[in-house]
Amino acid sequence: MCTSISSTRVVFSLRTFSGYFFISSKAIVKLYYNIPVDKRQRRHFRRYKKRSQFDLLLGNRTSRAELIDYSASGIGIIVEGSLPVTEGKVLTLTLSEPAIRTEGEIVWLRRTGPGVRVGIKKIGSLHGLLRDYILADVFIGLQRRRVTGILEVRNGPLLKKVYVKDGEVIFSESNQSDDDLGEILLREGKINSTQYSHFKNVSKKIDKKHGTLFIELGYLKPAQLVWAVRHQSEEIIMSLFGIENGSFEFKECQISDKVITLKLSPVNLIYKGIKRISEPHKLRKIENLLQLSDNSLMCFSPDPLNLFQSITLDDAGREVVSYIDGKTSIKDILLLSHHNEFDTRKILYALLSTRIIDSGDSKSELKHTSINPEEISDEDIDKKLRRAVPQEIINKIETTYTTFKNTGYYEIFGLRESASFDEIKRAYHKIVKEFHPDRYTYLDSDLLKSQLNTIFYFITEAYATLSDPEKKKQYDSQISSKTVQKTSNIELAKIRFEEAMNEFRNKNFTRSAELFGQSVYLDSSIANYHYYYGLSLEKLKRYKDAGRALQKALKIDPINADCLAELGYVYLDLGFEARARNSFKKALRLSPSHKRASEGMRYFMK
């Protein structure tokens, strides 16, 4: 499903800083104001439409059935006749087009004309033939399911494995000689042919990991090894998107601690992998499964789960993206593009495979909304693209994780129970962008990542409930029957502050900083919260963060001599002597006998 933009010029803001693709949050709220995120969009694996007749076996009885659609994890069919199908029943499914041989459990059904429309969840491992699926959809589905295991891709003797932990791609390996580390380094020009030959001879005599051996031979520096192993894993994964025949299977299992853990972006690998395809006929599978034609209109996905993924675009990608507005067809984009037809198609199909963009067959399918181009702020984007993790982000994640279990679905969106569907939708779009795990793939803390995923799951469940009238009604009934009064953010901030003060008095400054930070997040209007947060950070020698906290306290209470004096010491630690002197002087003007400020001024009398 697409949305068009009622403007004659490009009205979204596109930048690629540090590997991120973003559209301004203000634009998103307006652009997707009337776009429902229905149940199909919330499925993890993309569904492919396909009509196919087959015989359905239930116990010892068979009935004629018709396939409607399918995915890596489920199937939609219509059952004819009087076969007794009920929820929870297990069916045996055997189809030739697509090749599906599996058992499946009926999870829902609905009467439709002379038959019954049935939704089936596949039982067992995720598997299938590559001809019947877009492999990118498997990667994205595994990521959203947050599963752990190994994805195997086979084609005759070829075997490539991708290791997945909690939905994240962490490593890959291959039995193909072209994927050996030495071959890849040779192709990249990191070693020469003489060095490679020497390495091969030595490796036959010494049983060592190839990376270690390259370092011992002096062909790689230790600092280059991580890049080399990451690059090898990325090359193996990107090569998967060019494989036409063969099969895939995902086996859920625990990953050995011996497996190297890398942070690989599946969206970037999908984009680059499909762009590497060199034979036009390999794109036809994507065309057929997505039912694309040259008249298909290109638009951005209305689903925040798809839209707010991080991706690095090259110049060609940025140009093609600039033509996507919900009104321009593939045919027109091919004419507008400065690149040849095949390269332009690869970019479009790569973006479609990442789900960042979507397609529609006619303008009648599109939802029309209006955007004021002046409301789109590049500054809003810039602030969000810093690679370092600001303390405020850490506080926000930790505080939200600490409190969300004690809040309800309305509270997580900051809404009242009387909120309209449009208000719920706008709030969902805002918060899903803020907490989308793809925005924080660079986090080093597994704990923070786990907290973020838990929060994101809660947000998704909240929206799934509140956007469904029947589920919302049931939920409203449940919460109205509860007599327990929920603690407000202001009250909770006070509780956190008292806890923090106890830790501060006991000189547990790491813990006090965490708790003061939560107080600030829950209620940012109290100067004392910021002041003590700054003191804790100062004790931890995090002077820049401490300075920011103290400055926020002074914005609320500009005549606070204690805060001015402490800021002076922070400036001294940062080497800003002129600023420090000025802060001490301001504090002494407000309180001439202020001890800390007086001691600070003595520094300048030495």
Domain map of the chain by residue range?
Answer: 3-36+290-375, 48-125, 135-264, 386-480
Task: Report phi then psi at 248, rounded to 5.
Answer: -135, 155
Q: Report which of residues 18 and 562 the model is more confident about.
A: 562
Enter the tokens of residue 534: 């700054």
Enter the tokens of residue 376: 């789109």
Q: Contact 359/1 with Cβ under 8 angstroms?
A: no
Measuring CA to CA, how many Å separate 251 from each of 156, 159, 173, 212?
A: 19, 14, 15, 30
What is the rounded end-to-end Cα distance, in angstroms, of the chain?
Answer: 72
Q: How far apart are CA 329 and CA 294, in angstroms?
A: 7
Stretch 553-564: mean pLDDT, rounded? Answer: 91
Q: Report which of residues 530 and 452 the model is more confident about.
A: 530
Q: How far apart are CA 11 and CA 31, in angstroms?
A: 10
Stretch 330-339: mean pLDDT, rounded? Answer: 90
- pLDDT tens, 47-62? 999 999 888 877 777 7
Long-range contacts of 384-387 (CB under 8 A, 24+ apart): 384/20, 384/22, 384/439, 385/15, 385/17, 385/18, 385/20, 385/22, 386/18, 387/18, 387/442
Q: Contact 292/423 with Cβ under 8 angstroms?
A: no
- pLDDT tens, 581-592? 999 999 999 888
Which pLDDT score is estimated for 154?
96
Long-range contacts of 88-91 (CB under 8 A, 24+ apart): 89/58, 90/123, 91/56, 91/57, 91/58, 91/120
Task: Report phi then psi at 16, rounded to 5.
Answer: -125, 90
**In the predicted model, is pLDDT for residue 479 greater than 80?**
no
Kindly give, in sequence order, each residue whose CB lies less than 8 Å from that of residue 39, ignoring residues fewer than 6 positions away.
Answer: none
Q: Report which of residues 55 and 445 the model is more confident about.
A: 55
**In the predicted model, is pLDDT for residue 412 greater than 90?**
no
Which pLDDT score is estimated for 68?
93
Q: Report which of residues 79 and 153 the model is more confident about.
A: 153
- pLDDT tens, 191-233? 899 998 998 888 888 888 888 888 888 888 887 888 889 999 9
- pLDDT tens, 240-289? 999 999 999 999 999 988 888 887 889 999 999 999 999 999 999 999 99
Count the alpha carbons within 13 Å of 12 in the hemisphere toward its beta carbon. Answer: 26
Which pLDDT score is estimated for 331?
92
Q: What is the mean pLDDT of the chain?
A: 81
Measuring CA to CA, how many Å separate 133 from each of 346, 515, 575?
A: 17, 48, 59
- Exposure string (b/e) for 436-461, b if CB count within 10 Å is 16 or more? bbbbbbebeeeebbebbbbbbebbbe
Q: Among the residues of 166-221, which ranges form H helices?
A: 181-187, 193-205, 210-216
Stretch 83-111: mean pLDDT, rounded? Answer: 87
Enter the tokens of residue 461: 């469940």
Q: Contact 316/343 with Cβ under 8 angstroms?
A: yes
Q: Report which of residues 296 and 478 the model is more confident about.
A: 296
**In the predicted model, is pLDDT for residue 148 greater than 60?**
yes
Q: How far apart are CA 509 and CA 528, in angstroms?
A: 16
- Please state, for a pLDDT cut of 90, what percent of the chain lies above it: 37
Stretch 166-182: mean pLDDT, rounded? Answer: 91
Q: Contact 212/247 with Cβ under 8 angstroms?
A: no
At the topology level, CATH places domain 386-480 in Helix Hairpins (1.10.287)
User: What single DSSP character describes residue 61?
Assistant: E
Q: How far apart are CA 429 and CA 33, in angstroms?
A: 9
Stretch 97-126: mean pLDDT, rounded? Answer: 89
At the topology level, CATH places domain 48-125 in Thrombin, subunit H (2.40.10)
Count the alpha carbons within 13 Å of 228 in the hemisphere toward its beta carbon. Answer: 26
Q: How far apart are CA 419 and CA 414, in angstroms?
A: 10
Q: Contact 247/127 with Cβ under 8 angstroms?
A: yes
Which pLDDT score is estimated for 447?
67
Token look-up 């600070």 returns 600
| C-alpha closest to that of 552 among 575, 578, 519, 590 | 519
Stretch 106-131: mean pLDDT, rounded? Answer: 90
